[in-house]
Structure 1
Amino acid sequence: MFKSYVVPSSETPGHSPIYRHPKYKSGTLDCEYPDIGTLYNLFTTAVKNYSKEEFLGSRRFFSETDSFGDYEWMTAADAAEFVNDFGSGLDNVYSTNAPGVNAATGQQPLGIFSVNRPEWLLSELAAFRSRRYSVGIIDAPSVLRAEADICSASIEVIVCSVDKIPRMLDRISLTPSIKVVISMDKLDCSRPTRWIQPFDKGTTEKLKIRAKSLGIVLLDIDEVIQIGRLNPTEPMPPRPFDICTLCFSSGTTGAQKGILSTHEAFVHSSKSAILAMPLHDSTYMSYISLFHIFDRYTIYALMFNHLRIGFYSGDNANLLDDIQLLQPTIMSIVPFVLNRIYDKVAAATVGSKGLVGFLSRKGFKAKIGRIRSGKGFKHALWDRLIFDKVAALFGGRVQIMVSGSAYLDPKVQDFFRVGLSCNLVQGYGQTEIMAGGTIQTADDISTANIGIPNPGVDICLRSIPEIGYNVTDVPCPRGELMIRAKNMFLGYYMDPEKTAEAMDGEWLATGDVAQINADGSFSIIDRIKSVIKIARLMWVEPTMLEAAYSRHRLVSSVFIYGNEHEREIVAVVVPNPDTFVPWARSTSRRPDANLAELCADKRVAISVADELRAYAILSEIPIIGIIGGVYLEPKELAQVDSEFVTSTLKVRRAVVSKHYMPVFEQLYKELDCNDDPTI
């Protein structure tokens, strides 16, 4: 069965036909939820429909034991009261001549600076109440990233967790637009939270004095709510074409860009998502940074129906504990996190020795066969014996898991479908389209693809002949993924040139290379700017190779490098300490050597290169993808230098290549590739 709908006679020279969701062949969603035009309208509708239901949950913190308790819940009606009072308070603390007022719309930005917690989402909704728009602020990866974003967006008022306040006061000269700082945590320390724990009344009082000396008004969120109650203002709800958020990109290929979205675009994206995968009475774990679009996209999509949002406790070390306590029914996740969990869980089950390994492999084979034959995700025997324990890691109630942001290894996807007894689907999106591009349907059990167009989203491919991808390619058309939809961004903040570069008429040029599979699904096969040309005019797709090599038992991560003067690729390999150290000690016959010493041992590096070459052949990696030489790096790239990765953990290839260039040059000298007369 062909999964996508092909618009008849829609192909043009150099472009494939237009593809749409088969249930929405017109490409529009105007008849779906016609009364919801803004995210604020979506929220108030949800409050009306589910006012007494649990809405936002967080774990109580006990300062006496430095530990977390159970989840405590705020109803939708409670959230609405908070948003109204806090929004009214914001009206009172904003100045009328704020530096960040958008000249075209008269709107003001509200900065939000913290990890995921109920106050993050409530602050955004309170901003919407008076036509303001949110600007998420994040620490990583640059030490000055937060200040640069605040300054760029001309933020006057910022809501943050208390731990951010000392930093903000220290660097206030870098953010001259800031006039008001609002703490999410009570400054009298009367409500214990993880963030207020290091403070006491004495230290917060000093913060107030210092803020005053700098001309900054420092309040906490409860004080602003009280101001709002004493001086109530009428809501001024946003219009569909108003700005709802300014989101700074992670900067994979260079300096980050500010991406402006309207309410209309964000509503279309979230509406499209819930139509693609109808879900009701969901419990959702929010831990992927709300600074990014992905988590908010999912939250607002699920808000079309009853939704319980449980926020993680703010510490990644507690994440699995939070999940097991919350028992979510739906989770968004990124491959980086899945891969780390897979490495540990698979090693203890299908990769282990003895009876447990034997039973796990037998059970996996039985379950994956059952899933692929359409008989469902559960198996009475093997779940009870093996896989209920895997599902319990995620609370035991997950009904659907959605992966996005990067390539997901089919082996990992199938493992969690078996282990969680539910479907793990892949989707595709960018901030420029509010995350909503494609997704696999809930009953799609295929792998190595990103599904089909979301409802109300048009997709086609554009040939890129200069790097060998064409829509006429056989058997699968290939080219740059192009997207057209109502969820298109308004533009890059104060950068019309880059906005124009990103668009081809009505179409967003994503920069990702895709192919249309025989079943009508799409697969991302490359990124235009990450393609490496090596000697003999051969092209290498580094991200796909890195994902493949990272599945080797000795490897944690891989960075591939090549250039047009060399016939082979080389790599920086970060070993998996758990498996690498005992193997390398045996290989080098140095039983007491530590990780750093083993990585510095040239004999070990040569052995790792041999292992990866053998692995490449067994894994059917193309010859041009076989690694010629290896440099062993004992630290993860983000630990070597925080600038090596973006805030979404994507590698900045140009930055990493520049840093390791002396290493690559030495590897090529050792390979003696430059003397090959055939190049």
Structure 2
Amino acid sequence: MKELLRINDTELDLSIFECQTISELFCNNVKRFGSRKCLGYREVFGEEDEKQADGKIFRKLILGDYKWLTYNDVNEKVNNLAKGFYSYGVRPGDTVMIFAETKAEWLISAYAVFKIGAHIATLYATLSQDAIIHGINETEVTHLVTSYDLLPKLESAFKDIPKLTTIFYFDGHKKINTPTLGKCSVVSLSYVENIGKESKEEFHFQQKSKEDTAIIMYTSGSTGVPKGVVLSHNNVLCTIRGFYPVVKNLHNAVNIAYLPLAHVFELAAESYFIAVGVPIGYSSPHTMTNKSTAIKKGNLGDASILKPTVMAAVPLVLDRIRKNICEEVSAKHPFLKELFNFLISYKKFWTKRGFKTPIVNMIVCNKIRSLVGGRIQHIVTGSAPLSPETHDYIRACLDVILIQGYGLTETAAGATLMDFEDFSNGRVGAPLNGVPIRLIDWGEGNYHTTDKPYPRGEIVIGGDCVTSGYYKNDDLTKEAFFEENGKRWFKTGDIGEIYPDGTIKIIDRKKDLVKLQFGEYISLGKVETELKSCSFVDNICVYGDSYHSYIIALIVPNIKALKLLAKQLNKESLTHTEMCRDQEIIKEVAKTLKDHAMNAGLLKNEIPTKIMLVTEDWTPDSGLVTAALKLRRKNIQEKYKMEINKIDIKTYNELKLITEFPEAVEAIKIKWQGETEDKPLLFTWLRIRADKWSFYEFDLKATTVQSLVETKVIIDTIEKINILAKQIKNTKCQFTEEKSNLAKEIKIKAGKDNLEVNADNPLDCSCQYTDLKRNELVTAKKDDKLELLRVKQEEVGKVGVKPVDVEGKIGAQSTSSSSTLESFITVTKLESSCLSFK
């Protein structure tokens, strides 16, 4: 496919960004905006514990008003801190780790390191101890910047990070004593800054080139150990330049910053705001609003004092804001509730068409906007998909321009961003200036650039924003990055769809795609994005695998919504844990979730058939979500594997299949226990795909298979296999005693006598075939009573099977890497002594 590239039709002057390094850009900003506000913070005067109605203890902070540092003030601090760092041994080319929460000191420390000619590495403050140790040891840093509150984490890990010699920490308001960490120096930033200020030595700041490393940014580790992504100065500057033609006209703007600066999305946003003269006021999720957990009753949250006009937000935060608004409205009189919903629907209708609604703004929106200071005008979201429903709702309720962007750490956050004038939803905008994008086919997922009505495929991003790769991981770098025609490209793993106007919609993710038992693919991320906006859902993880024909949902329930439901069911006396276990409550939540899914346009097989309500919240500290609030699927599945295994789901799927056994169907009957009348034979096929196997039963009364019935397979030991069958339409049935006994005696032999069984999950088993890729028959026998044959592709038809796709079309080709028929095994010989016949 050809490259998709934004044509720079703006008259804005981009020459102000033509710098070699981030440090050079900041120096230019100081010259342009010297006396203007740059970074703001609230001083903490004290704290106290407050007991809540549910018995929980919350720490409440006593905060002052915002204090501001001008560009000149920040520059002075940066220069002094750079000289102080140098006196403690930081040299050009060194790596300094920043492991801290989002504060002004974080950014000032980074600029100071850049001044020296060194570079930074970043770790999320919420990472596990193992991840912290991994990042520090892999980068071999000797100097680290952190906060006073995080010193205990380093203290507990200190014996495992032997190369660390110096720790600089932000001063804490409740500082009692500084821990002693062996021979490691532990000093405050204010002390280091003062050393630089008093230094009489002339310091020559190091000038670097644009291709030099600026940041080794560790990911949040959603799929395992955090990876270090190497960003050059040019990578970051490319993203800032790309933002400029899109995020413009920010007159008298103020930004509120609270997302982790260790996340590329927040770092890119703050770097851009500093470059265009927008003041940044620092906040945190615990102090942002008047009702935040760390704000003492009667005191004002950060937003009420700062009154920001622009903010960055991840979709999960916007989902929660939406649910909070819905909860407040639901508690009102039914008439007011209906009036509110009508006005918001009215506003959404006209907003999409580019019209203002001043009367609705006055009646509804202004009050809601006051929650975030009353002046908010622009919200930029990214890092995960935002559901169209939440997009429209927040845009209407807050009367804001809400734009969604798309980027990755590997592209320095640069890729796409919606224009302010774009009132669509579900899309992530067009490519940024200077960032070419193209799609490549992904056959396994059935996405092609030739698809109609719009091309689809894996998104590949090129240009100066693409990083050099992963730190000390050449194999992974070669897998994800490539050079072509003098340009560097990154394969994102995300599936996109390009519209005629050049905007892109993220429709899937390769890592989130699972293949179910009958071959259909399900995008877990897509399902989760749609279901997160359900009133009962605070967070959700959808699970599916190729052993089953359905998906299930693990849900962190919204406590308020759950309590309201319990009250309606006269179960308000239940504890939270009891509510999550109560079958009647679960049934109602599942019904609401299903209705929500259908309204969102999810297909039948994309709707979870069974749900589980979990009792604990998923936080970065629990290891179940990253610092960027992305799901850690493997961790979640491991934690709840026993519960997942207990979920028994009955599902039925229609599939047509031509057979070539009409005479066998007429001749053979099977007698079901407890019944005298004849029943059509349920002919059993055993299908093996790669290392997974399961049983299917087909009703062969006619020449088409009318239903597939899922069969639960339980492995008692390596020697015994017990097959439990269920009749079509959920009528209980059993095999005859003779057949059951035979089934228990089967031992599958192929290549090696090796049947592996997971004791914790009997359904998680595999047959190891040494000759799986060989084009020949594999036979397994037990006393010559049962013969299992793997079918060669040319044998199709001889055994009565033709390949089918998930839509049931005869003769369709498989989309998997191996042929559909390569994995089919059929029962070809059944002796009459094995079964009871009429």
TM-score range, shorter chain: 0.7 to 0.9
1:592-634 per-residue CA deviation (whole Å, 9 max, x = no partner) reads: 2222112223343344333433443343320111222222212
- Which consecutive unaligned segments of at least 5 residues does structure 1 have? 1-15, 97-105, 186-194
Task: Find out whether 1:481 has 2:459 as its counterpart.
Answer: yes
Task: Find out whether 1:668 has 2:648 as its counterpart.
Answer: yes
Tell me the secondary structure at the aligned position of residue 90 of structure 1. helix
Match of residue 192 from structure 1: none
Match of residue 306 from structure 2: 326
Contact 1:247 1:258 (8 Å CA) reproduced: yes
Equivalent residue for 2:573, pick from 588, 592, 599: 592
Which amino acid is 1:546 matched to?
E
Tell me the secondary structure at the aligned position of residue 120 of structure 2. strand
Task: Find out whether 1:70 has 2:72 as its counterpart.
Answer: no
1:112-149 per-residue CA deviation (whole Å, 9 max, x = no partner) reads: 22211111110000001011111222232423322321
Task: Find out whether 1:274 has 2:244 as its counterpart.
Answer: yes
* Distance change (3 Å), C-alpha of 1:382 and 1:586: closer
* Distance change (3 Å), C-alpha of 1:220 and 1:556: closer
What is the 5 A alignment of 1:493-504?
A: 493-504=471-482
Equivalent residue for 1:79, pick from 74, 84, 92: 74
Equivalent residue for 1:407, pick from 378, 385, 398: 385
What is the 5 A alignment of 1:58-137?
A: 58-63=41-46, 66-94=61-89, 107-137=93-123
**Whole-Å separation in 1 of the counterparts to 2:472 and 2:552:** 40
**Whole-Å separation in 1 of the counterparts to 2:151 and 2:218:** 21
* Distance change (3 Å), C-alpha of 1:522 and 1:231: same
Report deviation, 1:411: 1.8
Task: Find out whether 1:263 has 2:237 as its counterpart.
Answer: no
Contact 2:353 2:423 (8 Å CA) reproduced: no
Match of residue 348 from structure 2: 368
Contact 2:329 2:337 (8 Å CA) reproduced: yes
Match of residue 304 from structure 1: 275
What is the 5 A alignment of 1:438-587?
A: 438-505=416-483, 506-584=488-566, 586-587=568-569
Contact 2:304 2:372 (8 Å CA) reproduced: yes
1:182-215 per-residue CA deviation (whole Å, 9 max, x = no partner) reads: 1221xxxxxxxxx331x33xx23xx3xx34xx11
Report which structure shows greater RCO (CA 8 Å, sep ≥6): 1
**Whole-Å separation in 2 of the counterparts to 1:452 and 1:51:** 34
**Whole-Å separation in 1 of the counterparts to 2:652 and 2:645:** 10
**Whole-Å separation in 2 of the counterparts to 1:350 and 1:585:** 14
* Distance change (3 Å), C-alpha of 1:160 and 1:117: same
Report deviation, 1:644: 1.9
Contact 2:385 2:529 (8 Å CA) reproduced: yes
Report deviation, 1:231: 4.4
**What is the TM-score with the length of structure 1 in the denominator?**
0.88
Contact 1:54 1:308 (8 Å CA) reproduced: yes
**Whole-Å separation in 1 of the counterparts to 2:367 and 2:90:** 55
**Whole-Å separation in 2 of the counterparts to 1:231 and 1:656:** 56
**Whole-Å separation in 2 of the counterparts to 1:144 and 1:157:** 19
Task: Find out whether 1:43 has 2:26 as its counterpart.
Answer: yes
**Whole-Å separation in 2 of the counterparts to 1:43 and 1:575:** 45
Which amino acid is 1:256 matched to?
P
Match of residue 357 from structure 1: 337
Equivalent residue for 2:634, pick from 651, 654, 659: 654
Which amino acid is 1:85 matched to?
N
Q: Cα RMSD over matched residues?
A: 2.5
The answer to which of 620-629 and 30-39 deviates more is 30-39
Percentage identity across aligned positions? 26
Match of residue 163 from structure 2: 177
Tell me the secondary structure at the aligned position of residue 572 of structure 1. strand
Tell me the secondary structure at the aligned position of residue 457 of structure 1. coil
1:577-606 per-residue CA deviation (whole Å, 9 max, x = no partner) reads: 21223324544x544222211222334334
Tell me the secondary structure at the aligned position of residue 545 of structure 1. helix
Task: Find out whether 1:294 has 2:265 as its counterpart.
Answer: yes
Contact 1:350 1:360 (8 Å CA) reproduced: no
Which amino acid is 1:246 matched to?
I
Equivalent residue for 2:4, pick from 10, 19, 23: 19
* Distance change (3 Å), C-alpha of 1:34 and 1:396: closer
1:272-308 per-residue CA deviation (whole Å, 9 max, x = no partner) reads: 1122222445311111101111111011112232121
Contact 1:585 1:593 (8 Å CA) reproduced: no
* Distance change (3 Å), C-alpha of 1:236 and 1:353: same
* Distance change (3 Å), C-alpha of 1:456 and 1:35: closer
Contact 1:514 1:525 (8 Å CA) reproduced: yes
Report deviation, 1:672: 9.4
Rg: which structure is higher?
A: 2
Task: Find out whether 1:230 has 2:215 as its counterpart.
Answer: no
* Distance change (3 Å), C-alpha of 1:314 and 1:147: farther
Equivalent residue for 1:196, pick from 170, 173, 176: 173
**Whole-Å separation in 2 of the counterparts to 1:46 and 1:294:** 21
Match of residue 397 from structure 1: 375
Contact 1:141 1:645 (8 Å CA) reproduced: no
Report deviation, 1:355: 3.6
Which amino acid is 1:121 matched to?
L
Report deviation, 1:169: 3.2
Which amino acid is 1:72 matched to?
K
**Whole-Å separation in 2 of the counterparts to 1:295 and 1:303:** 12
Contact 1:129 1:238 (8 Å CA) reproduced: no
Contact 1:297 1:435 (8 Å CA) reproduced: yes
**What is the TM-score with the length of structure 2 in the denominator?**
0.72
**Whole-Å separation in 2 of the counterparts to 1:601 and 1:375:** 47
Task: Find out whether 1:627 has 2:596 as its counterpart.
Answer: no
Match of residue 383 from structure 1: 361
* Distance change (3 Å), C-alpha of 1:88 and 1:579: same
Tell me the secondary structure at the aligned position of residue 640 of structure 2. helix
Report deviation, 1:547: 2.2
Which amino acid is 1:81 matched to?
E
* Distance change (3 Å), C-alpha of 1:520 and 1:344: same
1:78-120 per-residue CA deviation (whole Å, 9 max, x = no partner) reads: 1111111110111111166xxxxxxxxx611112222111111
Contact 1:555 1:580 (8 Å CA) reproduced: no
Which structure has more helix as a fraction of its residues? 1
Matched length: 630
1:154-206 per-residue CA deviation (whole Å, 9 max, x = no partner) reads: 11111221122243234321111211111221xxxxxxxxx331x33xx23xx
The answer to which of 540-549 and 119-128 deviates more is 540-549
- Which consecutive unaligned segments of at least 5 residues does structure 2 have? 49-60, 654-694, 699-707, 710-838
* Distance change (3 Å), C-alpha of 1:183 and 1:448: same
Match of residue 618 from structure 2: 637
* Distance change (3 Å), C-alpha of 1:140 and 1:31: closer
**Whole-Å separation in 2 of the counterparts to 1:138 and 1:304:** 24
The answer to which of 32-41 and 528-537 deviates more is 32-41
Tell me the secondary structure at the aligned position of residue 45 of structure 1. helix
Contact 1:141 1:642 (8 Å CA) reproduced: no
**Whole-Å separation in 1 of the counterparts to 2:113 and 2:206:** 10
Which amino acid is 1:61 matched to?
V
**Whole-Å separation in 1 of the counterparts to 2:333 and 2:145:** 52
Contact 2:90 2:118 (8 Å CA) reproduced: no
